[in-house]
Each structure stands twice: as structure tokens, then as C-alpha cells.
A and B are shown apart, each in its own frame.
Chain A
Amino acid sequence: MTTTGHHPPSTTSPAGNPMGFGRMLRKEDARFLRGQGHFLDDLSMPGMLHAAILRSPVAHARIASIDTSEAEAHPKVKAVITGAVLESLNLAWMPTLSADVQAVLATDKVRFQGQEVAMVIAEDRYAARDALELIDVDYDVLPAVVDARRAMDPGAPVIRDDVEGRTDNHIFDWEAGDKAKADEVFARADVVVSQEMLYPRSHPAPMETCGTIASMDRVTGKLTVWSTNQAPHAHRTIYALVAGIPEHNIQIISPDIGGGFGNKVGIYPGYVLAVVGSIITGKPVKWVEDRSENLMSTSFARDYHMRGEIAATREGRITGLRVDVLADHGAFNGTAQPSKFPAGFFHIFTGSYDLEAAHCKVSGVYTNKAPGGVAYACSFRITEAVYLVERMVDVLADELDIDPAELRLRNLLTPEQFPYTTMTGWEYDSGDYPRTLRKAMEMAGYDELRREQAEKRERGELMGIGVSFFTEGVGAGPRKHMDILGLGMADGCELRLHPTGKAQLRISVQTQGQGHETTFAQIVAHELGIPPEDVDVIHGDTSNTPFGLGTYGSRSTPVSGAAAAIAAQRIRDKARVITAAAIECDPADLEWEPGRWYVKGDPSQGRTVQEVAMLSHGTLELPEGVEGHLDASVVYDPPNLTYPFGAYICVVDVDPGTGEVKVRRFIAVDDCGPRINPMIVEGQVHGGLADGVGMALMQVIAFDEDGNCVGGSFMDYLLPTSLECPSWELGETVTPSPHHPLGCKGVGESATVGSPPAVVNAVIDALAPFGVRHADMPLTPANVWMAMQGHPVRTDLAVR
């Protein structure tokens, strides 16, 4: 319909941006490109002091004595904090995110190499480091528990003797699924195959290490904390609970974050110590860890020792899956999972397949290693679960001599089965799995690759093709099921339109590179038809944003993005009422086009959102019950998780002489629902794929027999560079989530979750001529070569 004087709404903003979804260059780039970002260590406060932490050189020891007198006498030292000082303040221990406690500073024993023993606060960072050398600690070394598989041995040293009555290193046992039914399915199965596998300890290693500046104002009693953290609101509440500081007197600010990947979810001893240091000295105290501190003491990831069993018919119909997991949680149980789920969402391990029965058992143990287990783009242990099932399917394919892609196609859930409730209780929202896998196979030229592989094998060349298919559950989560330390996982959002129609959106989640300042503006633009450049996204400051649990587990778009969309929808609804009042008609007679309400049949009669914004702040008489101004506040409680999925295919060449793996191609087809900003989504996938190459081939935090960490620097903990990564080949399918207001499913962690098994499956496929069915990550040249010799190795132990 066309009417004189009215033009259809533009799909492009005055600045050339999409009026909603689409490729849009990032708002945040302007400062980063100029070196004008504000990362934690870029910040400086008047009178600020610098802290450094003395760490344990041994993995397990009783502290006989600590002498700080020489350090305190250093002319530039302002304070030295030890465990004894903290004990006097009742701050020597802090709660972890898993209802355990962790030593802020060691009092009785040190329990891992790198554990915090003392903090020095000095005038500059060099002096603080110097003074660490002046502290004399006398350690009575104890035997260390290094191998998780030996942690429950009779007579094993008891690590957590701080807890009264504890006589072993057991943390928890947890089960999911129907064991009796699984046993019955296995008993009558044609084929049962089992496989031991390790998802080794890894570390997220963001390029920016963790740090904080704490400033306690002695006059007002107000504590301001700048810190590298992904969840500022959760941090505020925990500081209040731990330190007893009234929560309204605490402001947590997350400045620009130089990568998080889960490493910046938790509260580390250094953060608490900086607060104590500021209280003691009356000055702002900055603490920034060095790289070794980051790798040796902050939250690791994975460390799951898994034994999988898969049951199937001879024709390749998978009927059952059983898993037994030994989870190494380090010296303190600091894993960050929703409270009901000590093993996170590992029980999504049935993956993307239609099974008859499944059962898993996870046991957590303490070892003399760094605590944590939070993350690394894992969606709460789904990384481990996907690795397990995708390796097991390949092991089964090998047993049955069926092509691994074909075996997956025979067993994938079909579109008619959605919503699908898994054997362990997850309700997958939507999907068309076979379409996605077929698309990946087409992009890869799968059949041609298999032909090439056959030819190469004839010549003795080792080429491998690996397939993986993953289903993730992200956007935690429904508050009745999910909380962290009692805090429900709902997220708030506030949207305010100023009189001139420019908007401010305040969100609870915290970008670490995901581009929230851009995509959240696009969500508002999509719903309200206003230019995204007119929407300022405010985040990272607890005093200026509504409460919410932060960014991890790919939850920003599924939870906070939904909140933003609903806030904008409420404003749109209110704008309708105000438009009707302005033109004196019934709201039911109005129709919406992006950016404007107008009278049905007479498009020239209407009001733009910007006009309504001014009217709402003006003198227009509003209908009964309608308040002035144009703002909305939402707390979004997700009804379910969202379930992004994807099909990945990796092609590798292995050097038969050295065992070196070269990733030649990587094809990734992701389905995360509609893409708000496809450019950003692709970037997220790229990064996760590099993670997969790193974890599969390079990254491990291993320990020697005394508990010495042998992954404590970038010389030993190898991360993928531009040379290990191929040029990624991406594709997409789009299956909207039926319960998310935008249909979006989240994507941040998909590739990190889905890609490691594709790489490993490819390498193992390449090694088929050697009869290799499995070898553990990381598949370094040495480890691959050992597997080729028939001697696969334990990759978590630096002792052979």
C-alpha cells in the first residue's frame, strides 16, 4: 500500500548501519584501534599502591613459619599481609562458587604450587616484587596427590584436613540417567565398545591476565573495586557476604576486559587481598598477576578422566551410552556451576542422538593442583560431554566399520522429534540436525575427501577426516533450576528513551570482546526501528546497571538479549498508546512499521518513536494509568535453555616421520538461530575453532610427580598461532528457538565445545593404518608418534 507523503521505513540508518539485524561494524572498535581502551592495568588512581603475591614453590607442605620482618623493613613497602593477619580479621578463608572454602592466604598448609602465601603492598610494582624475596617461609614438605586416579587410594595424603573429620580426598558423587534401564539396554546390545579418555587440564589464558584495583574510602565506607571480571553483580554480592561490607556501599566496575573465556568469572584471593590492603593502607591498591600466576593459580578447565561405553545394534543403531567420570577439582572445589549440578551440565552427554537409555556417574576428587574448574568457554562441562560422545561414536564407527558421518546420520535426532526430552532430562528446543550435517559434508566435499584419503593411504600418506556434531545447552538459566551461590540466573535490563529519542540500554552482562555495545544496540534497533547508533549500551558498573549474573556459558544473548528485546517491546507497546492519545484514536486502530505507529489505512497519520519520546516527556495528556516518559525495566527468567548445534569436519595431514599434525581444512556449520550481527557471530566461531585446534593438539597444564606445574608459562603452555590455524570455512543453518523472543540461541562457546572432537577424530582417523583407536589430547607430535608406536601416553602427567 502506498500513500502520498509516506515512505516505507528505511532499512539503513543515517550512519549506514542496519536498522536491526545485519552486518554492522563494531562501536567498541574506535577506542581499541587507537590504543585508547581502558583495560584494568591501564587505570591509575591518585596515591595508588602496588601489590604482589608470594606463592608457594611446592605443591603440598605444612607452613612451619613465616618471617616478614625484612620485607616490612623495605623502604618502599607499606604493608605485608599474611594468613595470620587475615585470620585476625576472619578473612583467611573465602567461600568458593561451589559451597567449598578456599584459602585467601595459606594459614596451615599450602595445597598447590602457586598458592597464595603472602601479599606485599609497596609504592611501585618493582619494589613489591623485590620485597617478596625478603619473606622467609619455612615449609615442611608433604607428599603430593598429583594423579587424580590415585587420589582415593587408601593412605593417600589427605589434602583438606582443614575440614574437621575429613579422612580422604573425595568431594562428591553425582549421577544422572536411568542406570537400570541402561544396564538392560547394554545387556541385550549386539555390540558394546568402551574407551577410556582424558580431557586434560587446560587453561583459558586470556591475553590480559587477571587483576584488580580496590579503593576503600575511609570516610564514606564505600568500597570501589575495578576488576577483570565477567560477572560484576555476582561479585558485588559475594564481596558483601564475605567481607561484611554493606552491599550498597560496594561498587564493582569491570573496565574493558582483555578476553575472559571463563577465566574471569570467579573471585581470586588477589582480589580479596587488594581490598584488605586498601582497608589497611587507606590507599587504592592495584594487583595484577603475571602470566605464570595466571596459568598456575587461576581457574583451570576440564581435567575429566572418562570411561565411556556405547551400545548399538550391528546395523549401527546406537541404543545406549554409559559414562564413568573422575573429575579432578584441584585443592579447593572452586568450580562454578549452578548449585544443583556439581558436574555442571555434563549429563547432556547423550549429545545429538536418539538413544534408548543413558547413565553417567561423576566423582569429584581433590588433588594438589590449582582450584577452579570454572570454564574455558565450556557451557558448564558440555565441552567434556560433547567430546565424550563424539569420540565414542567414532570408536563405534571403527568397531562396526561404518563411515563416521554415515553412522551419525543414522542416529541423529530428526526434526519431527523436537522439542525432544533426552534420557537425562534436557528438553532440546529445536533443530534440524541431518540438514546441518549434510551441509557440512557438502561444503567439505566429503566423498571426494574419502577418495583422496584412500589414494593417499595406498602411498603411505596419513590423511585424516574428522566429523563431530554437537548440541549445546546455553543461556542458563531458568531460576527455579539454576543458581550460583543461591543467586538465580535471571538477568535485568533497563531501556530508557530520552526526549529526543536517543536511547540508553543498561545491561547486566559483561562483554569481554563479544561486542555487546554493538549487538545489544542492534536488538533495540530491531525492535524499535531506531538507528543502532542512537542506542548507548551501558554495562560493567554495578551502580549503573541492573542486577544479573554476567557473561559466561554463552548466556548474554539467550538471557540478557531476551531482556533487551522485551524491554524494547514494552516501549513499543507504550508508544502505541501514546501515539493513539496524540492523534486521538483507539490504539487498536494503529499498525506498526519499524520506527513508527500509524493509523490503519492512513499511513500519513502516525508518530515516530522519536516523536513519541518527546510527547511522553511533554505535556500531552496521557490515558488513565499511563505514566510519562519512555522507559522500561525487565528481569528475564528464561523458560528453558537454548540449544545451538552444529556439524564440524576437520581434515588433517600427519607426518608419518615426526607425528606432526597439520590442520589442512576445517568446515564449521553452526546453527545458533537468527544472527543479530553475522560478522560478530562468525568471529565468535573463528575464535572457538582455534581453541579446538589448541586443545586437541597443543594445550595441557601437566604436573610432575611432586606436583610441579609444567605449564606455567607460554614457553610450556602452547597456544595456537596463525600458523597452526587453517583458514576456517563457515556455513550456517537457521533454526530459531521457539521460546526466545528473538529466536536466538547463543554462539559464544559453540565452536570451543564442538571443535576438539573433530580435530581428534581426524587425527585418529589418519592413524587408522596403525590400528590406533584412541589417543589423548593434546596430540602433540611426540604423543602422536608414541600412539603410532602402539604406546599412547598419559598426557596429564609429566612423568612417563
Chain B
Amino acid sequence: MQVTMRVNGAEVHGDVEPRLLLVHFIREHLGLTGTHWGCDTSQCGTCVLWLDGEPVKSCTVLAAMADGHEVRTVEDLEVDGELDPVQKGFMEKHGLQCGFCTPGMMMTARWLLDHNPDPDEDTIREAISGQICRCTGYENIVRAVRWAAEHPAGAPQKEQEVEA
């Protein structure tokens, strides 16, 4: 079947099997391999991306379900060579080790800060609780998101461009 969607602001088309998972469409048809896959069962969250502005686990969304919708992935966080404050925060606070859960974590963190620019630690922990990290014990992820909250300057406003 034919699908058309906007991914990171650009319209894309695909001829896909109806059963194709969105995560596979993004990774294998579009070559955007920053979104990872880790569990099949919506537990781990390495596949989190945005669908119409909301974080979703793309291993349990069909590409067909995204037809006509808007997708945003980790590759869209950096704008014109400027890292998103969330990306900077993850670097500054050592919020990543192996880097596998990182894209999903950052997409959730970006969404959280867009809706709550000054979240406390408990709010951050709640926001990322549907995603698993095996390396960091979460401490530095929480600090990374706090860092991003405290350094919003220069935060790119790409979302509005996408919606335009």
C-alpha cells in the first residue's frame, strides 16, 4: 500500500506492506537509523519518536497508521548545526553511555520540556519511566533533562516550522 507522511518536516512516500511497523519504515525505508528497536512489546522505549507531536513507541505503530500524519525523529533535534538543549544536556551531564536508548529518551525529554519547561526530578522520572536504560541508572538522564531546562537559550523552534 502507498503511504505518505511528513517526516522531520519533509513529505515522504512509501510503498509498504500493511503490516510494516513504523520503526522499520523509518529505519529501513527512510534510512533514519537514529530511532532504535529493542523489545517488540512496547516496554523498552528505544523506538520512541513523535507522531503528531506526541511521543509514541514506533515498534507498535504500523507505518500505515502514520499515513497522512507527521513524524519527528532524533535526527530533527539538531537544527542548522546547533544541538537542541536536550542533546547538550545529555552530553554535559553524561546522560548516555552506550547510546542505544538515548534517541528515545531525548525525544521524550524534548516533549516534556515543551509542555513543562521547568520539571522537577520526580516529574522527569515519571516522564521517562516507560523507557529503559541499562547503563546510566537514570541519574544522569534526569540531570541532563534538568540541565536542558536550565539552559533553554538557543532552543531551536523547529516544531512551528514543521506545523507550518
CB within 8 Å of B: which residues of A?
Answer: 25-26, 28-29, 31-37, 39, 41-42, 44, 125-126, 204-209, 256-261, 290-292, 512-515, 679-680, 682-684, 686-691, 713-715, 719, 721-723, 725, 727-728
Contacts and interface: CB of A to CB of B under 8 A. Distances in A.
B151 interface: no
B140 A686 contact: yes
In the complex, the 5 A-B pairs of residues with the closest C-beta atoms, listed nearest first: A35-B34, A32-B99, A513-B98, A258-B100, A513-B97
Contact of B91 (A33, A680, A683, A725): A33
B142 interface: yes
Most buried by A among B24, B100, B131: B100
Contacts of B33: 35, 39, 41-42
Given A714-B44, A715-B41, A35 B92 contact: no
A686 B93 CA distance: 13
B5 interface: no
A47 B144 CA distance: 41
Given A35-B74, A207-B101, A721 B36 contact: no
A35 B101 CA distance: 10
Contact of A714 (B19, B125, B132, B136): B132
Interface residues of B, number: 58
Contacts of A29: 90-91, 96, 99
Contact of A689 (B75, B97, B102, B137): B137
B133 interface: yes
A32 B139 contact: no
B43 interface: yes
Contact of A723 (B24, B39, B97, B125): B125
Given A35-B35, A39-B100, A683-B97, A26 B91 contact: yes
B103 A25 contact: no
B136 A687 contact: yes
Contacts of A32: 96, 99, 102
B143 to A, nearest CB: 9
A31 B103 CA distance: 11
Contacts of B73: 35
A204 B135 CA distance: 11
A33 B98 contact: no
A687 B102 contact: no
Nearest to A290: B40
A157 B107 CA distance: 52
B34 A34 contact: yes
Interface string B113-135: 00000000100111011111111
B13 interface: no
A126 B19 contact: yes
B51 interface: no
Given A207-B100, A513-B98, A258 B142 contact: no
Nearest to A204: B134
Nearest to A725: B138
A259 B135 contact: yes
Contact of A683 (B83, B92, B94, B128): B94
A37 B99 contact: yes
Given A33-B102, A33-B106, A207-B36, A686 B139 contact: yes
A291 B41 contact: yes
A683 B136 contact: yes
A724 to B, nearest CB: 9
B94 A35 contact: no
A745 B54 CA distance: 45
Nearest to B127: A722
B63 interface: no
Contacts of A31: 99
B98 A714 contact: no
A687 B74 contact: no
B17 to A, nearest CB: 7
A228 B34 CA distance: 17
Contact of A722 (B24, B36, B138): B138
Most chain A CB within a 10 A radius of its CB, from B27, B38, B73 = B38
Interface in B68-111: 73-75, 77-78, 83, 87, 90-92, 94, 96-103, 106
